[in-house]
Structure 1
Amino acid sequence: EPLTQGATGQGQAVLFRDKVSKIPVCVCKIINLAATDKLNRYYVKQEAEFFKKDIFSKLNLGYHIVDYFNSEQVGDELFIYLKYCNKGTLLQRIEASLDNRQPFTEDSIWYVLITAMHAIRKLHANNIIHRDIKPANIFFDGEDGDLKLADFGLMKIISQNQKQSSTHVGTLGYLAPEIGVKSYGKEVDIFSLGVTIYQMVTGEVPINQNYKFDKAPPELRQLLKQMLQKEPENRITTEQFFKQETVLKWITYLEQLYNMEHVKKEMQEF
Structure 2
Amino acid sequence: MAAPRQLSMDDFEIIRELGRGTFGAAYHARNKITGEEVAIKKIKCPTEMAEQEAQHEIDTHQQAKFRYIANFMDSFTEVDEDGTNTFCLVMEFCDQGNLTDYIKKKQNRRSHIKEEYAWNILIQLVMGVNYMHSKRLVHRDLKPDNVFLTGPDREVRIGDFGLSKLLDPTRSYLQSMKGTIHYVSPELLKLQQFRISGDVWGIGVTMYELLTFKHPFDGRTEQDTWNNIINDSFQPTPIPDIYSMPLRETVNAMLVKDHNLRVTLNNLVKVP
* TM-score, normalised by the number of residues in structure 2: 0.80
Match of 1:4 in 2: 15
Point out the more displaced range, 227-236 or 69-78: 69-78
Match of 2:249 in 1: 222
CA RMSD of aligned residues (A): 2.1
Aligned residue type for 2:29: F
Counterpart contact for 1:5–1:12, Cα < 8 Å? no
Match of 1:171 in 2: 180
1:48 pairs, out of 35, 58, 80, with 58
Shift of 1:49: 2.8
Counterpart contact for 1:104–1:200, Cα < 8 Å? yes
The aligned runs of 1:1-270 (5 Å cut-off) are 1-6=12-17, 7-9=19-21, 10-19=23-32, 25-34=37-46, 42-52=52-62, 55-56=63-64, 58=65, 62-75=66-79, 76-180=85-189, 181-205=191-215, 206-207=217-218, 208-209=228-229, 210-216=235-241, 217=243, 218-243=245-270, 247-248=271-272
Aligned residue type for 1:184: F
Counterpart contact for 2:208–2:239, Cα < 8 Å? no
Aligned residue type for 1:71: S
Shift of 1:41: 5.3
Shift of 1:166: 0.9
Counterpart contact for 1:134–1:196, Cα < 8 Å? yes
Q: How far apart, CA to CA, are the structure 2 residues paired with 1:15 and 1:200?
A: 25
Shift of 1:174: 0.8
* TM-score, normalised by the number of residues in structure 1: 0.81
Percent sequence identity over aligned pairs: 24
Shift of 1:151: 0.6
Aligned residue type for 1:192: G
Q: Using a 3 Å threshold, how does the CA distance of structure 1 residues 44 and 70 change in structure 2: closer, same or farther?
A: same
Counterpart contact for 2:121–2:155, Cα < 8 Å? no
> Structure 2 unaligned runs (5+)?
1-11, 80-84, 219-227, 230-234
Q: Deviations over 1:30-72 (max 9, x none)?
A: 12212xx7766553332023234xx33x3xxx21111111112
> Structure 1 unaligned runs (5+)?
249-270
Shift of 1:17: 2.0
* Number of residue pairs matched by the alignment: 236
Q: Using a 3 Å threshold, how does the CA distance of structure 1 residues 40 and 176 change in structure 2: closer, same or farther?
A: farther
Q: How far apart, CA to CA, are the structure 1 residues paired with 2:50 and 2:256?
A: 30
Shift of 1:93: 0.6
Runs of 4+ with >3 A deviation = 18-22, 37-43
Q: Secondary structure at the match of 1:212?
A: coil
Shift of 1:215: 1.1
Q: How far apart, CA to CA, are the structure 2 residues paired with 1:39 and 1:69?
A: 24
Shift of 1:158: 0.5
Q: Using a 3 Å threshold, how does the CA distance of structure 1 residues 241 and 2 change in structure 2: closer, same or farther?
A: same
